[in-house]
Amino acid sequence: MTYPFSADDVDLAPADVERRIADDDVQLVDVREPYEYEAGRIEGALPLELERLASKAETLDRDRPVIFYCRVGARSGMAAHAFRRAGFEAHSMVGGLERWHGEGRPIVPEGGHVADH
């Protein structure tokens, strides 16, 4: 499947993201809307809506890689490319939360779901 805003050096598969989270090697950022975040998210993800991301960039550590995710990967791809241009090591999770959860990975809260955008 082809994903919008994809690039080999930016994209990470959910399995790679899961490993990097387990290694505590990244800042995980959910760029979806607040109602989407509340419905279901990856544990430990920081909520920063795409529209507010530029104004909150200084809250992220430039010395640690950042992985952005959204529902399917379009918004996170845009965020990753923009942050790359700003000097961050930024990535986007391919397939977004739909793929993460569809492959059997957990989301919180218990009973949570991937909200429509």
Q: Which domain holds residue 59?
A: 29-102
5 located within any domain = no
Average pLDDT score over residue span 25-32: 96
* Tens digit of each residue's pLDDT (9 = 90 or more) over 81-93: 999 999 999 999 9
- How many structural domains is the chain composed of? 1
40 located within any domain = yes
Provide the pLDDT for residue 9: 79
* Tens digit of each residue's pLDDT (9 = 90 or more) over 92-104: 999 999 999 999 9
Provide the pLDDT for residue 2: 47
68 located within any domain = yes
* Tens digit of each residue's pLDDT (9 = 90 or more) over 2-12: 444 456 679 99
> Which CATH number does the domain housing residue 70 bear?
3.40.250.10
pLDDT higher than 50, residue 55: yes
**How many other CB atoms sit within 10 Å of the CB of residue 29?**
24
Gap between the Cα atoms of 89 and 62, Å rounded: 8
110 located within any domain = no
Q: Is 25 a catalytic residue?
A: no
Which residue out of 28, 50, 66, 70 is catalytically annotated? 70
